[in-house]
Structure 1
Amino acid sequence: MELFSKVKELVAGIEADAEKFYNSNNGAAGTRVRKAMQDLKVLAGDIRKEVTEKKNAK
């Protein structure tokens, strides 16, 4: 659950940058959104591994 909480925090943290990018065409905000999306992808992979390990441990 710890990793899932990190995902929620990350998504909440990039909301302002996403709005700046899409509504104001702020390029720097777009760069921050792209980096956060890459971090999200890594976290999602970690969650997948954790779930698989826990499922197979039964």
Structure 2
Amino acid sequence: MSKFSELKSLVESLEADFTKFYDQGNKAAGTRVRNGMQAMKTMAQEIRSEVQEIKNKDK
């Protein structure tokens, strides 16, 4: 469950950068958002693999 907590924490940490980019047009914040989204993609794939591994282990 710790990976889920990490994912939630990452999403929460990006909230300010989303606001800065979309509402204020801050391009540096957009770069941070893109980097954060890439990290979320990687983390999501790791979670998917872990879930699949646990699911297959029970068979």
Superposition pairs of residues 1-58 of structure 1, within 5 angstroms = 1-58=1-58
Q: How far did 1:2 drift? A: 1.0
In structure 2, C-alpha distance between the alignment counterparts of 1:6 and 1:40, rounded to whole Å: 10
Gaps of 5+ in 1: none
4+ residue runs over 3 A deviation: none
Matched residue count: 58
Amino acid at match of 1:3: K
* Aligned-residue identity in percent: 53
> Cα deviation per residue 1:33-55 (whole Å; 9 max; x = unaligned)?
00000000000000000000000
Q: TM-score, length-normalised on structure 2? A: 0.97
In structure 1, C-alpha distance between the alignment counterparts of 2:34 and 2:54, rounded to whole Å: 30
> Cα deviation per residue 1:2-50 (whole Å; 9 max; x = unaligned)?
1111100000000000000000000000000000000000000000000
In structure 1, C-alpha distance between the alignment counterparts of 2:26 and 2:10, rounded to whole Å: 19
Query: What is the root-mean-square deviation in Å for CA atoms of aligned residues?
Result: 0.3
